[in-house]
Amino acid sequence: MSKQEDKGHGIVVRETETGAQPPESFTGLELGQPKDTSAGFPAILTAIQHAARYMAPGQALRTMFRVNQKGGFDCPGCAWPDPEDERSRLGEYCENGLKAISEEAQRKSIGRDFFARHSVARMRGWSDFELGKQGRLAEPMVLREGAGHYEPISWEDAFDLVGRELNSLDSPDEAVFYTSGRTSNEAAFLYQLFVREYGTNNLPDCSNMCHESSGHGLGTTLGIGKGSVTLPDIHEAELLIIMGQNPGTNHPRMLSALERCKENGGQIITVNPLPEAGLLTFKNPQRPLKMLRGGTSLTDLFLRVRVGGDIALLKAIMLRLWYEEKKHPGTVFDWDFIKDKTEGYEAFLEDLKQQDFMQLVEASGVPRQDVLKAVELIRDKKKIIVCWAMGLTQHEYGVDNIREIVNFLLLKGSIGKPGAGTCPVRGHSNVQGDRTVGIWEAPKPEFLDRLRDTFGFEPPRHHGFAVVDAIKAMHDGRAKVFFAMGGNFLSASPDTEYTAEALRNCRLTVQVSTKLNRSHLIHGRQALILPCLGRTDKDVQNGRQQFVSVENSMGVVHSSQGVLNPPSGHLRSEPAIVAGLARATLGNRSAVDWDRLVSHYDHIRDAIEQVVPGFEDYNRRVREPGGFYLPNGARKQEFNTPSGKALFTRNPVPENALDDGQYAMMTVRSHDQFNTTIYGLDDRYRGIYNERRVAMMNEEDMAAEGFRSGQVVHLIGHYKGRRRVARSFIVVPYDIPRRCVATYFPEANVLVPIDSVARGSKTPTSKWVVITIEPAEEETASKS
């Protein structure tokens, strides 16, 4: 057993080796009232405490005032864009951004002595929280077949081990090369270059698990799989509609943009199953006087949609808008835009007219009067932006959710004009950039042609594995080597136990990482940990400090340069790791001069410029303060579709059928985490402290089931006749629609079926998991 400490609270935990199963006892859960304000002094205090606890004082101060500044380094957290005008001297970071920096730039480091003391079996018993707090990885480590401890290995021997395994495969398609969204443009481009010269397109990435539905939905309707708006558009919008997103926790710097929109006269509609503090009232730490006066009220109308009810809600709103247009022709819909810039309107409208308004309202879960209020707010607006995140994408009909948003915006003519458009808010700092420079299992032929013409080899043309395909291939033995460029693949993936079995089936698993995580402990017959530089670290090649570049959610490419000395002299940059791997694997048969590319990253950027459209004059423009925008046709009403027009689509209303006693479960993040990284055990905004293994339920559902607050239950997943069990979750009463349950990611990932994915995008359906709930034999009451 082990002890977790967070803000003075303690909890005794015991987890199975995958981290998917329960603690032995619950002694620490405390419940308070959910907050109705975000940020402010509590955020400042929490961020400073976190930095002080894990970082050296001088390093904490240095990073605080260089993160997200022009010429500084990009936060390793979310992908929200930096202000285009003057940036705050008080700091351009949020509470969770500073937590991310503190996690990456920990004062502690771990190497051979640490791994000699702690066996893999012992570390499997630690929680994800404990694993991440051990310190920065200091040197390459190998786990030999049959061994119980990792041991040190030289970089050259590590590369040789990977090269031998890759070259011994019957086909390059028996290897999988995963990418985390933190990887820079330069590292990602080199990585895909090596993988394709090796001979495969098996390049799954974290986008497969989050915004792949956005890319597919936008790409097939507007001709580009990215959002169309800029940060100034957010400020200028008359109406923002924020759907399936919790920016106060997942993208906190977005709140200052929402505040500016409100001060410019804009209004905000929030659509979500849970009310979230970040969208109620915002106390901006960069504006102390306003913070003292109570902050800014953000949401004008909250639509508490049922889990999975978004398409029904959008159709109900559009149907009422059509009624309004019939009463007042030419005042609601933008007919000039529809006629000149779109196609498919007639079929779309005919389908819409077949819908029954009250049935749509019932399916959405939103009261009729609130739907009508939304129509009133929308009707006369011309500058409308819809923002969304994984609350919309991680459904079987996730692609349809996005297409329905596009339908709505096309009716209003709210694409390709100032203050209007699409805004998928990406969750990781360069997940969009990685895709731009070639991390994709389904590359377009034009990209492969330019890669061939630039480097002189013929890249493979057949599509590779996305994440779910890759897991299945490892599980059934079709893939034998797994290489991860960052991330925590096991904890991020669906169906935890199935994914664990898949990784164990591999001959070799390799993790490029900055710190310890569970994917190091669930491994193949052999395993490597390759420690890399972090975003905060100085990267020196051939005696010259380098910088890398990233792309934010709105298509701005800018530089990032570390400011701290690395915690160990044995770390290598991600580009250097890729080059070493390529030399060991490809040897003299490679057509690429790997040494030259990594000798100075300008050479990598020169190569990107030749292969990827939009990067013309890359090295000059990326050195300009603030960087540069990539081309975006939808932003200019130029749609890269076969007809050259934006497409209306017909999307069915999901049935979302539940049997008696069943619930729709969705996974969410707590305020004390970013993706799979657990900063602590408190979800401050939701009033849930010192515990993560909770099931948030509607109080009426609790009464109907006979459950009490604090009761321990088992969650049983049901999919196509198979049961999956997540044991020992604590029932917490919460303001959530009837027959809906919210649990934390990744603890509940064990219930997300490997075969349940979004149509068209293969994104796991983490926001719609059918469960039943059974009382556990023993229960422990929480403190209220």
pLDDT tens digits along 606-616: 999 999 999 99
How large is the average pLDDT for residues 78-105? 84
**Element at 380 (helix H, strand E):** none
How large is the average pLDDT for residues 361-389? 98
**684, 672 Cβ separation under 8 angstroms:** yes
Neighbours of 462 (CB within 10 A): 8
Q: What is the pLDDT of residues 403-435, one digit of tens each?
A: 999 999 999 999 999 999 999 998 778 999 999
Which of 676, 760, 764 is CA-nearest to residue 498? 764
**Placement of tokens 């040789």 in the chain:** 160
C-alpha pair distances (Å), 619 with each of 320, 601, 605: 51, 9, 6
φ/ψ of residue 582, rounded to 5: -65, -45
For the record, the structure tokens of 758 come out as: 């979004």
Average pLDDT, the chain: 93
**Placement of tokens 């979800």 in the chain:** 683
pLDDT at residue 15 tops 50:
no
pLDDT bin (cut points 50, 70, 90) of residue 50 is: confident
pTM check: above 0.85? yes
What residues are paired with 677 via a beta bridge?
674
Residue 395: per-residue pLDDT: 97
C-alpha pair distances (Å), 763 with each of 194, 207, 210, 211, 213: 26, 9, 7, 8, 7
pLDDT bin (cut points 50, 70, 90) of residue 58 is: confident
Which of 778, 676, 783, 772 is CA-nearest to residue 732? 783
pLDDT at residue 603 tops 70:
yes
Q: What is the pLDDT of residues 450-505, one digit of tens each?
A: 999 999 999 999 999 999 999 999 999 999 999 999 999 999 999 999 999 999 99
Residue 380: per-residue pLDDT: 96
pLDDT at residue 1 tops 70:
no
Residue 600: per-residue pLDDT: 98
pLDDT at residue 10 tops 60:
no
pLDDT at residue 595 tops 50:
yes
φ/ψ of residue 547, rounded to 5: -130, 160
pLDDT at residue 200 tops 60:
yes
Neighbours of 445 (CB within 10 A): 8
**CA 227 to CA 210: how far, in whole Å?**
15
pLDDT bin (cut points 50, 70, 90) of residue 3 is: very low
**CA 203 to CA 176: how far, in whole Å?**
7
**CA 39 to CA 41: how far, in whole Å?**
7
For the record, the structure tokens of 210 come out as: 């989050």
287 or 88: whose pLDDT is higher? 287
**CA 121 to CA 317: how far, in whole Å?**
54
What residues are paired with 67 via a beta bridge?
73
57 or 335: whose pLDDT is higher? 335
| 242 CA to centre of own chain | 17
Residue 346: per-residue pLDDT: 97
Helical pair 467-475 and 496-504, crossing angle rounded to 10 deg: 60
Q: What is the pLDDT of residues 629-652, one digit of tens each?
A: 999 999 999 999 999 999 999 999
| Gyration radius of the chain over CA positions | 25
Residue 736: per-residue pLDDT: 98
**Placement of tokens 């975006």 in the chain:** 632
Q: What is the pLDDT of residues 336-372, one digit of tens each?
A: 999 999 999 999 999 999 999 999 999 999 999 999 9
**Placement of tokens 């879960």 in the chain:** 365
**481, 506 Cβ separation under 8 angstroms:** yes
Q: What is the pLDDT of residues 298-346, one digit of tens each?
A: 999 999 999 999 999 999 999 999 999 999 999 999 999 999 999 999 9
Neighbours of 300 (CB within 10 A): 16
Which of 84-88, 545-549, 726-730, 740-744 comes out lowest in average pLDDT?
84-88
Residue 7: per-residue pLDDT: 32
Q: What is the pLDDT of residues 402-411, one digit of tens each?
A: 999 999 999 9
Q: Is 733 helix (H, G, I), strand (E, B) or coil?
A: strand
For the record, the structure tokens of 150 come out as: 């990792």
Neighbours of 569 (CB within 10 A): 8
The answer to whether the Cα torsion of 55, 56, 59, 65 is positive or negative is positive
For the record, the structure tokens of 40 come out as: 């402010």
C-alpha torsion 426→429→435→440, nearest 10: -90
